[in-house]
């Protein structure tokens, strides 16, 4: 397997955690999202991922039909082919709760604050840095407030009980990004408690952006 990612990409971060938890080896290939206008827009990469986003996971070869995109789809694929250390609970209801928490991050927070959205705000719409940061903080606060409530209902040591799930793989990178943008995280004690618990695990610590080969 080959994982195309970028050290600061929260979506790639999620997949790195999954690979580590399951003990799956994948060659890590960097797609620099800023250099030369963004390597994700180059023809060679677009052939693998028409969305021009990271991550992309290729399997036995690099045929377009074998390239997987979208971090949650990749993680669920890995979970199905390597069912040991499952990332989703056994019951349908519990799986739905875990997915709801994961999607709160992956659908309600991250897309609005992704690099291409922030670049569109500043480079196309002419939004200044202060307004961009206000936008970023607003959507993190909105999503984290909801997620904090879900954790009050469902968390134990981790997002859902005492076992690492897909929800934790989404939460930890989003907290990392929020810290980068100086979001006040004191209103979210359960989020920060779970974040701290996860980062005690080697699989999470080794996936951290600063530990990646392409980190700057």
Report the distance separating Cα 93 and Cα 76, nearest Å: 17
Q: Which CATH number fits domain 2-85: 1.10.540.10, 2.60.40.720, 3.40.462.40, 3.40.30.10?
A: 3.40.30.10
- With a cut of 90, say whether residue 213 has pLDDT above it: yes
CA dihedral 95, 100, 105, 107 (to 10 degrees): 110
**Residue percentage of the chain with pLDDT more than 90:** 95
The C-alpha atoms of residue 117 and residue 208 are separated, in whole angstroms, by 23
pLDDT for the residue numbered 23? 97
Contact 165, 189 (CB under 8 A): no
Contact call for residues 55 and 48 (beta carbons, < 8 A): no
Q: What is the pLDDT of residues 85-105, one digit of tens each?
A: 999 999 999 999 999 999 999
Distance, in Å, from the CA atom of 18 to the CA atom of 204, rounded to the nearest integer, reads: 9
CA 170 to CA 101: how far, in whole Å?
Answer: 8
Q: Is residue 63's pLDDT more than 80?
A: no
**Domain boundary assignment for the chain:** 2-85, 92-204
What CATH number was assigned to the domain covering residues 92-204?
1.20.1050.10
Q: How far apart are CA 190 and CA 194, in angstroms?
A: 6
At residue 61, does pLDDT exceed 70? Answer: no
Residue 93: burial class (beta carbons within 10 Å; 0-12, 13-18, 19+): exposed
pLDDT classification of 60: cutoffs 50, 70, 90: confident
The Cα–Cα gap between 109 and 103 comes to 9
Please give the pLDDT value at position 176. 98
pLDDT for residue 66: 81
Which letter does DSSP use for residue 77 in this model?
H
Q: Give the pLDDT band of residue 62 (cuts 50, 70, 90).
A: low
Average pLDDT of the chain is 96
H/E segment holding residue 58: strand 56-58
Tens digits of residue pLDDT in 134-173: 999 999 999 999 999 999 999 999 999 999 999 999 999 9
Same CATH fold assignment for domains 2-85 and 92-204: no
Q: Average the pLDDT over 40-65 and give the result.
A: 88
Residue 50: both structure tokens together: 């028409």
Q: What is the pLDDT of residue 214?
A: 96
Instruction: Give per-residue pLDDT as tens, 165-209.
Output: 999 999 999 999 999 999 999 999 999 999 999 999 999 999 999
Structural contact between residues 160 and 98, judged by C-beta atoms closer than 8 angstroms: yes
Q: Which residues pair with 27 in a beta bridge?
A: 2
C-alpha pair distances (Å), 178 with each of 37, 89, 127: 24, 28, 20
pLDDT reported for residue 164: 98
Query: Mean per-residue pLDDT for 53-66?
Result: 81
Q: What is the pLDDT of residue 92?
A: 98
Backbone φ, ψ for residue 166 (5° rounding): -55, -35
Residue 212: predicted pLDDT: 97
The confidence score (pLDDT) of residue 121 equals 98
């Amino acid at each position: 397997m080959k994982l195309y990612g970028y050290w600061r990409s929260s979506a790639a971060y999620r997949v790195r955690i999954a690979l580590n938890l399951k003990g799956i080896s994948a060659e890590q290939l960097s797609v620099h999202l800023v250099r030369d206008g963004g390597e994700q827009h180059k023809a060679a990469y677009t052939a693998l991922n028409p969305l021009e986003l990271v991550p992309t996971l290729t399997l036995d070869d690099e045929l377009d039909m074998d390239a997987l995109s979208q971090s949650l789809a990749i993680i669920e694929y890995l979970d199905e082919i390597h069912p040991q250390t499952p990332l989703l609970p056994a019951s349908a209801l519990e799986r739905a709760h875990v997915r709801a928490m994961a999607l709160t991050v992956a659908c309600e927070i991250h897309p609005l604050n992704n690099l291409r959205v922030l670049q569109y705000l500043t480079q196309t719409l002419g939004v200044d840095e202060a307004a961009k940061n206000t936008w970023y903080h607003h959507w993190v606060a909105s999503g984290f407030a909801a997620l904090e409530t879900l954790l009050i209902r469902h968390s134990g040591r981790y997002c859902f009980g005492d076992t690492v799930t897909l929800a934790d793989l989404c939460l930890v990178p989003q907290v990392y990004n929020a810290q980068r943008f100086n979001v006040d995280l004191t209103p979210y004690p359960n989020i920060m408690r779970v974040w701290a618990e996860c980062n005690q695990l080697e699989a999470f610590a080794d996936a951290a952006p600063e530990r990646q080969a392409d980190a700057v």
